[in-house]
A and B are shown apart, each in its own frame.
Chain A
Amino acid sequence: MRKRLLGIILFGAVALLAACGGGESTTPGGGGDNAATGGAETAAIKEGGIFRLGTTSNPDSINPFVGFSALSYILWTETYPTLVQYDTDYKIVGDWADSWTTSSDGKVWTFKVKANGKWSDGKPITAADAAFTGNLVLKYGEGPAAMMAPFIAHSTKFEAPDATTLVITYDEPVANVLPQLQQFFILPQHVVEPIIGDKGKGLKQWDPMSGGAQVGGGAFYVKTFEKKGTTIIEKNPGYYTTPPHVDAIGLTVYQNADAMLAALKGGQLDSVDTMPPTLAKQWSTDPNFTLQVGSSSFIYDIPINSNQKKTDHRELLDLKVRNALDLAVDRNQIIETVLNGYGTPVATMFTDLSSPYNNTDIPIPPYDIAAANKILDDAGYARGADGIRVGPDGSKFDWEVIVPENVEGIDRLFEILKTSWAELGINITAKKLDSTAAFEAIGAPDWKYLDFDLAIWDWVGYIDPDFMLSVLLCNQLGGWSDTGYCNPEYDKLYDEQGITLDAEKRKAIVWEMQDIQSRDLPYLWVAQKQSISAYSKNWGGLTEPFLLGMSKIPWDTIHQTG
C-alpha cells in the first residue's frame, strides 16, 4: 500500500481504460485478447446514461490532502481542474490551460487558462483559485499539505495577475514541470480557505462532501462518496470544455474480484477495472464482453535491506550474495504461475511506459541456479550440516521476508522464491503483515532500517521517472524508502536530472542511475504485471487505456453504443 501514491494511478488507469477501450490495445506491449476491434468505436453514440464501473481498490479519501489511492486520484482528476494532462499519445497537452510559456532561464512559467469554467456550485473558476492552491501547498507543504507538495517541488510562488493568467516561479529550472503539474489539482478557494485552521490542520480534516456534494470544477463533481460502497460523479454543468456524453459514472467497490465479476456477469456493472490473470482466458471467450490486456507500470519487486548499519544477517549487504539471489529469481515461472502469462520480466524500476527513460541496456538476469551457487561457493559461504549456508560470522542464511497482505499473487511469488532459493542453501520465512505494519517493520526500529532482511512488494510507477527514482534517495529514509538505501552519488545524479532540461542529457543521467541500482541491487526487480480488464459491449468511446488519473479525456468520450 505504501507504493500506491502517484504512480498507482497508472495501473488503475490502464486497467480501467483498457476495460472500456473499444478497440485493440494501443498500448506498448499490449494486445486485445478478444478482438472487439472497432466495434464499439464505429457504433453510434448514444448520449446519457450511467457508466457503472466495478473496482477492487477503493478511494481512501475524497480529500486531496489525505488520500493517496488510485481511485482517489482518478476522482480528483475528473473533478478538479488541472493545468495540463496526457493525451492518447502520452504527450502533455492542455487541460484547463490553453497555452503556456517559459522564461529564458526556465524558472518562470506562465499559463493562460480557460475563462468560461465554473465550479459545480456556479462560482467561476479563475487563476486566483490556482494561485491560492499553489501558495497554500507551499505554505503547508512540510505538514498537512505534504501529499500535494511533490507536484510543485522547487516552486517558490504562485501569482494570478488576472483571471486567466497564472504565473509559477521556480527556484531553479525543473525538468518535469508539466508532468508534475498534471497531478496538481486546483481547488476552489471559496471552499478551502475557510477550513484551513490553525497551522493548516483543518486541511487534513476537511470533508469536501460536507456541503452535501463536492464542489468540483472538472468534467464531473462527486455527487455521493462511499468509501465502501458506490461513489457517483455527475456531470458538472460548468465544465470549461466539451461536456462528456454520460450523465454520471458510478464506481462500486468490491472486496474481491469474484464478487465483482459475478456482478459484471449479472448486468449490475458495465465494466471492471481488474481481472485476475487466472480468470482472464476464461472470460476472453465470452461474446458479451471484451477483455483487454494492456501494459502497466505495476512491477513486483524484492527490496533488500541496504542499510550498512544493519545488525543481523549482514551477508545480505554483500553484493555477491545479491547477485546470486538475482540469478535465482525464476521470473518466467513467476509470470506463468502468478500472472498466468500476463506479464513480462523486468530488470529495472521502469517499464516501457516510461520510455525512453527505461534503461534497456540492462539485461534481464537469467535464471541460473548453478551460476548462483558458484558465486556463493566462491565467496566462501559454505553449507552447514542442514544444507543451509553460513556466513563468516556464523549467521545462517535463514531470512525473514516481509510479505504484505492484499497484493495479488504475492503468496505464490513467495513460494516460488522459497523453492528456488532453497536450491542455493537459503531458507526464507514469510512474515505476513497488513500494509501499515509491513512498512513499519521495514523501517524498524524507529525508521533506522536495522531489523528487516528482505521483503516482497510492488511499485506502480509513473510515466515521468522522477518519483520512482526518488524512492532510493537518502532523504527518503523514514519516507518512501523501503530498502534503507542511501548513496550520495545516486542522490547527486537525482538532483542533476531534476534540473536538466535537455531530454537526451536527462535520459543519460536517468540511465546512469539505473546502472547504479543494477550494481548495488537495493531491489531485485521481478516482473511487470499487465493490466487485464473487461467491459460490456454496450459501451464504447474510450480508446486510450493509460489515461485515467492522468487525463480527463477518457471519461469525456465514453458513451453508450447505439
Chain B
Amino acid sequence: MRAGWSYVGRRALFALITIFIAISLNFVLFRLAPGDRTSALRCQGCTQEFKQQLRADFGLDKSVPEQYVIYLNQTVRGDFGRSFVTEQPVISELWQPIKNTLPMILLGTIISIMLGITTGVIAAWRRNTLADKGTVWGGLLFYSLPTQWLALMLILYLAGPLNLPTSDIADPYLAYSNAGAWAEFVDRLKHMILPAATIGLVLFGEYTLIVRSSMLEALGEDYILTARAKGLSNWEIITQHALRNSMLPIVTLVFLSLGFIFGGTILIETVFNYPGIGLQIYESVGNRDYPVLQGAFLLLTVVIILMNFLADLLYFKLDPRVTE
C-alpha cells in the first residue's frame, strides 16, 4: 500500500510541475505574437500618450518579468484577471463557453465510442476479411483527415439535406414563436449535431484499433472457447464475454482523449461558429486578450493533466503492478 501512495504522490508532483511549466509557457507564448491589446484596438486616431495610458491600464507598460511575477501571483490566488476586451473577470468570460462546449464534446465522444466499438468488434470478429480491413482503414482515414476540412464536408453534404444549423448554439428566433422547453432542447441538440459528428468521425478510429486489439486478445481466451462449447450465440459471446473483458483499455483511452478533445475544439467551433471555449480562444488571439488566453489555456492544461492523472490512478486501481 505504501508503494501505492508513493506512486500517487509521484504522479501528483509530476502533474503540479507540468501545470507550472504550462502556466509559464502560457504567459510567454502569447506575448511573442506581434502587437498587443492597444494595437488590436486599432485606435489609429489615438495619440501616443493615450495608447501609453491604455498600456498602463492593461499593465503592459511594466517589464515582462514584472508582468510575469504579477501574473504568477494572481494565478496562485485564483485571480485570472479581467478580459482586456470586455473588462469582465476571466472566469465569467470562460464559464459560458465551457458550458456550451461540454455537452457538445460529450455527444461527440459518445458518437466516437459507439462507432469505435462497433467497428472494432466487427474488425475483430471478421478478422482478416474485407470487413476488418474496411473498418480499420476507414477509421484511420477519418483520423487522418484535417478536422476543419471534414467539418466543411459535413456542412456541404449533410447540413442542407438534413436541414441542420451550421452556426451558433441555438435558434435566436425561437423566442418569437413561444417555443416550449422541449423545442428549445431539440434545437440545441440540432445545433450540436454537426460539430459533435465531426469529433465523432475524427476520433472513432483510435477506438476501433483499441477495441479490435483487445477483442482479438479476448477472443483467444479459454473462456470464449468454453462459451462456444456451451452453445452460446455469437451475439452473447461478444456482448457478455469478449467485449466486456475488452473494455478496460477503452475506459483509459476515454479519459486520455477527453482532455485533448477539449483543446481540439478550436478548429471545429471556428468552422461551425459554435460559441464554446475553442471559438473564445480563437477570438481572443485576434484581440490579443492575454488574460482570457492565459485563463483558457491554463484551463485546458489542467484538464489534460487532470485526465492523465486520473488515467494513471485508474491504471493503479486496475493493475497494481504499475507501481513496480
Contacts and interface: CB of A to CB of B under 8 A. Distances in A.
- Tell me if chain B binds chain A: yes
Interface of B: 33-35, 39-50, 53-54, 57, 86-87, 152, 155-156, 159-160, 163-169, 171-173, 176, 270-273, 275, 279, 283, 285-286, 288
Nearest to B282: A255
A115 B151 CA distance: 53
A227 B159 CA distance: 23
A252 interface: yes
A262 B286 CA distance: 26
A253 B167 contact: yes
Contact of B163 (A229, A254, A266): A266
Given A146-B46, A262-B159, A262-B166, 18 more contacts: A50-B176, A141-B45, A143-B53, A150-B45, A201-B57, A226-B275, A229-B172, A250-B172, A260-B167, A268-B171, A434-B285, A434-B286, A436-B40, A437-B34, A439-B39, A439-B42, A440-B39, A479-B44
Given A147-B43, A255-B270, A436 B172 contact: no
Contacts of B168: 226, 228-230, 252-253
Interface residues of A, number: 57
Contact of A259 (B48, B86, B167, B169): B167
B198 to A, nearest CB: 12
B160 A265 contact: yes
Nearest to A52: B173
Interface string A234-266: 000000000000001010111110111011011
B33 A258 contact: no
Nearest to B87: A205
Contacts of B152: 256, 258-259
Contact of A252 (B33, B47, B167): B167
Interface centre among A142, A433, A436, A478 (most CB of B within 10 A): A436
Contacts of A147: 43, 45
Interface in A419-444: 433-437, 439-441, 444
A539 to B, nearest CB: 15
Contacts of B172: 224, 226, 229-230, 232, 250, 252
A325 interface: no
A268 B35 CA distance: 38
A5 B46 CA distance: 14
A50 B155 CA distance: 25
Contacts of A201: 53, 57
23 contacts: A52-B173, A54-B167, A141-B45, A142-B45, A146-B46, A150-B45, A201-B57, A229-B275, A253-B168, A254-B273, A255-B271, A255-B273, A256-B155, A259-B155, A259-B271, A259-B272, A262-B160, A263-B165, A266-B159, A436-B35, A436-B286, A439-B39, A478-B48
A388 interface: no
Contacts of B159: 259, 262-263, 266
A283 interface: no
B305 to A, nearest CB: 28
Contact of B35 (A143, A150, A439): A439
Nearest to B157: A262
Given A142-B47, A437-B35, A254 B166 contact: yes
Given A50-B173, A436-B286, A5 B44 contact: yes
Interface of B, helix, strand, loop or mixed by DSSP:
loop
A226 B273 CA distance: 12
Contacts of A228: 168, 273, 275, 279, 283
Nearest to A230: B172
Contacts of B53: 143, 199, 201
- In this complex, the member of A1, A250, A262 whose beta carbon has the largest number of chain B beta carbons within 10 angstroms is A262
Contact of B34 (A199, A207, A253, A441): A441
Leading 9 A-B pairs by shortest Cβ distance = A146-B45, A259-B166, A230-B172, A143-B50, A262-B159, A440-B34, A437-B34, A440-B35, A436-B35
Given A52-B173, A262-B159, A146 B285 contact: no
Given A68-B42, A254-B273, A437 B33 contact: yes
Given A254-B273, A262-B159, A436 B34 contact: yes
A117 interface: no
Given A50-B173, A436-B34, A146 B50 contact: yes
B45 to A, nearest CB: 3
B271 A256 contact: yes
Given A2-B44, A52-B173, A436-B286, A268 B34 contact: no
B131 to A, nearest CB: 33
Nearest to A434: B286
Contacts of B164: 266
A175 B164 CA distance: 52
A458 to B, nearest CB: 15
A435 B39 CA distance: 10
Contacts of A54: 167
B39 to A, nearest CB: 6
A213 interface: no
A144 interface: yes
A57 to B, nearest CB: 12
Contacts of A476: 44
Contact of A250 (B42, B173, B286): B173
Nearest to B276: A228
